[in-house]
Structure 1
Amino acid sequence: MKGKGGAAFAGTLLGEGEGLGIEWPDRWTKHKWFLLISVCTIFMYGLGGAVFAVLTWFQTWIYSDVMFVADYDILVLITVSSAILLLTFLIGITGTILNSRPILAIYALLLWPAFASILTIGYTSYKRSTFALDRKLNFAWSQWYTSLDRLIIQNALHCCGFYNSMHEVTASKTCYVRTSLPGCKAKLWAFEKMNLDKIWFLVFGVVVPLHVANIFVAMCCANHVTVRFGKGIMPKRYWLKGEDVKRDAERILGSIGAVARPGVVRASSSGVFREDKAEVSSVLEDESCTIYGHSERL
C-alpha cells in the first residue's frame, strides 16, 4: 500500500508539472511555443551542415574530394559552425523543457558566436567566387596544391594538367603527355563557381535571416518561458525602505495618540487587608523560629 501511495503521489506531481520543473504542453505559454520552434529550426540547419560536412570529409558524394582540396578552409568552417549550432540547440532545448532562465541565457549568448561562424562561411565563399576566381585557381594550382592534390582533382574531374597535359601535371595512368583529356582549368572553375555560389546563396539567403529571427525570438521569449516574469523578485521601485517603515510607524502612532500609563498601585486601607498582612507576618515568624531551633540542635 505504501509503494502504491508513493507511486500515486509521484504520478500526481508529474501530472501537475512539479518536481522536475517540467510543464505539460497544455500549460505552455505562447512564448515557450515560439521558443521551442526557434530551437528546432537551429537543430535543422545545424544538422544539415553537419551531415554535409561529414559526407564531404568521407568523400561520399561526387566531386567531394575536389571540395576537400580546393575549399578545405570552407569545409572546416562548416564543420565548426555546425558543431556550435548543435551545441546551442542542446542548451536551448534543455532550458526550454526545464523552464530554466539561466540556461536560456547561455543559449541566447551562444547564438552570437554561431551567427559569426555562419557569416564567416558566407563571406569567404562569396569573396572567393566573385573576385577573380580564375586567378585564384591559377595561383592555388601553382603554389598551394601538392602533387597529390593535383592528382585528386585530375582523377575526380577527368582532366590532365591545368591548361593542358604539359602544364604542371601530375602523371598517372590516365594523365600523360599525349593523353586526350583536357586541362583542368575550365572544369575546376565551373565546379568552384557552382559550389561556392550555392554555399553563399544558401547562407545569406536562408540561414542568416532565419538565424537573425531566432536571435530575436530568444531575446523576446527566453524570460517568458513561464507565466511568471523573471525570477519572481519584486521590482526595485516597490521595495520597502527604512524611511517608509518610519513614516508608517509615525502615522500609526499619530492616529492612536498618547498612551496613558497605569498609576501606582497602593495597598488598601481596609481591615481585611490588615488582617491578611498580620497573618502572613505571623506565619513567617513561626517558620524562622523553627529553622533557628533546628540549627541550634545541630
Structure 2
Amino acid sequence: MLGLEWFSKWTSFKWCLLFSVLSVLVYGVAGMMCAVVTWFRTWQNADVMYVADTDILVLITLASSILVVAALTGLAGTLLSSRPILAIYALLLWPSLISMAAIGYTAYKRATLALDHKLDMSWSQYYTPLGRLLIQNSLMCCGWSSPGHEGTPSRSCYPRTPLPGCKGPLTRFEQMNLQLVWSTVFSLVFMHLVNIVVVMLCANHVTKTFGSGITPKRYRLTANEVRENAGRVLKVTEKTGGLNVQVVGGISRPRIVRVPTSRAFREDKEERMGLLDEYLDKVGQDSRCRVRDRQRG
C-alpha cells in the first residue's frame, strides 16, 4: 500500500537511513520550538534575546524550517523507497548545513570578540526605547551604566531607582546565551555531516533491486573481444561460401538473391515478362495515337 514494504524486507541501508532522517527531524523540530517560544516570548529573558540577538533568532528559524522540510522529504523517500525523493532530501541537507554554520559563526564571533563594546554601541545607537524597556523589565535593571544613563523611564526605572544599570546583567546574559547557541550548533554540525554521508551511501540501496538487470563486469564484452568474435565469424562464413552481403561505397548491403535454377520458375517468369512487354507496347501505341489526334485537331 502506497509503495510501503514489510519491515522484514527492509535492507540494513534503509534502516540506517531511517534513523538518520529521524535524527535530522529531531534537532530540526527542537530548533523550531526554541525559535517559536522566543518569538512569542514565552520563557524568561526571551525579550532580551528578541531585542539583542534578532539576527541569530532569524537564522535559527530559517535553519530549523529547512531541516524540518528536509527531514519530512527524506522520511517520505525512505518509506516509499524512492531514490528521486531521497536525492531531493540529500540536496536540501546542504543549505541547512550552511544556515547552521552561519548561526554558530555569528554567535561565536559576537560572544568572543569585544562583546561589551558591541553591547555598548547597540544600546546607544541601535536599540529603540521600546527595546531598552523590554530589556530593563526582563533583567530588572535601569539605564546602561546607571539609571540616569540612556534609560527608558518606566514604573521601575526612574532617576532615584535602586535598580542597577543594565550593562552587567546584559553582558552576563549574552555571554551565557551566545555560548549555549554556538556550542550547541557546532556540535550538531558534526552530526549533520554524518547524516549527509549516510544519505550519500545509503540512498541507492533502500531496496534490493539496485543494480539488477545489469550484466556483471566479468561478463561484459570489450571492444577487443567484439573484434575477435567478428573475425571468427568472418572466417567461418568464408569457409562456407561467404556472407550474402556486398560493400558499396563503404556500406554493407545485401546482395541480390540468386534466381532459382528451377525450369518452372524460368518459364513462368518469361511468360509474365512477355505479357508485360505486350501491355507496355499497347499503352505506348495508344498514347502516340492520342498525341497525333490532338495535333490534327
The TM-score, its normalising length taken from structure 1, stands at 0.76
Q: Classify 1:163/1:238 alpha carbon distance in 2 versus 1 (closer, same or farther; 3 Å).
A: farther
Check if 1:209 corresponds to 2:190.
Answer: yes
- Verify the 8 A CA contact 1:162 1:169 in the aligned structure 2: yes
Runs of 5+ unmatched residues, structure 2: 243-257, 265-297
- Verify the 8 A CA contact 1:161 1:170 in the aligned structure 2: yes
**Aligned runs of 1:136-285 on 2, under 5 Å?**
136-205=118-187, 207-229=188-210, 248=229, 251-252=232-233, 254-255=235-236, 257-258=239-240, 264-265=261-262
**Aligned runs of 1:39-50 on 2, under 5 Å?**
39-50=21-32
Q: Classify 1:263/1:147 alpha carbon distance in 2 versus 1 (closer, same or farther; 3 Å).
A: closer
- TM-superposition CA deviations, 1:108-157 (whole Å, max 9, x none): 11111110000000010000001111001000000100100000000111
**Aligned runs of 1:1-16 on 2, under 5 Å?**
14=1
The residue type paired with residue 71 of structure 1 is D
Equivalent residue, structure 1, for 2:47 = 65
CA RMSD of aligned residues (A): 2.7
Equivalent residue, structure 1, for 2:12 = 30
Q: Classify 1:114/1:151 alpha carbon distance in 2 versus 1 (closer, same or farther; 3 Å).
A: same
The residue type paired with residue 228 of structure 1 is T
* 1:228, distance to aligned residue in structure 2 (A): 2.4
- TM-superposition CA deviations, 1:3-61 (whole Å, max 9, x none): xxxxxxxxxxx5xxxxx432211011111111000000000000000000000011110
One of 75, 81, 86 as aligned partner of 1:104: 86
The residue type paired with residue 168 of structure 1 is E
In 2, distance between residues paired with 1:194 and 1:220? Answer: 38
- TM-superposition CA deviations, 1:215-257 (whole Å, max 9, x none): 1101111111112225855589977799977864663464474
* 1:91, distance to aligned residue in structure 2 (A): 1.1
Equivalent residue, structure 2, for 1:82 = 64
One of 109, 127, 130 as aligned partner of 1:127: 109
The residue type paired with residue 190 of structure 2 is P
The TM-score, its normalising length taken from structure 2, stands at 0.76
Q: Classify 1:145/1:263 alpha carbon distance in 2 versus 1 (closer, same or farther; 3 Å).
A: closer
Equivalent residue, structure 1, for 2:271 = none
The residue type paired with residue 195 of structure 2 is N
Equivalent residue, structure 2, for 1:291 = none
Any idea what SS the aligned residue of 1:167 has?
A: coil
Runs of 5+ unmatched residues, structure 1: 1-13, 15-19, 268-298
Q: % of aligned pairs identical?
A: 55
In 2, distance between residues paired with 1:210 and 1:239? Answer: 41
The residue type paired with residue 232 of structure 2 is R
- Verify the 8 A CA contact 1:224 1:230 in the aligned structure 2: no
In 1, distance between residues paired with 2:111 and 2:192? Answer: 23
The residue type paired with residue 91 of structure 1 is T
In 2, distance between residues paired with 1:233 and 1:70? Answer: 60
Q: Classify 1:263/1:159 alpha carbon distance in 2 versus 1 (closer, same or farther; 3 Å).
A: closer
In 2, distance between residues paired with 1:215 and 1:121? Answer: 19
- Verify the 8 A CA contact 1:160 1:169 in the aligned structure 2: yes
- Verify the 8 A CA contact 1:129 1:192 in the aligned structure 2: yes
* 1:62, distance to aligned residue in structure 2 (A): 0.3
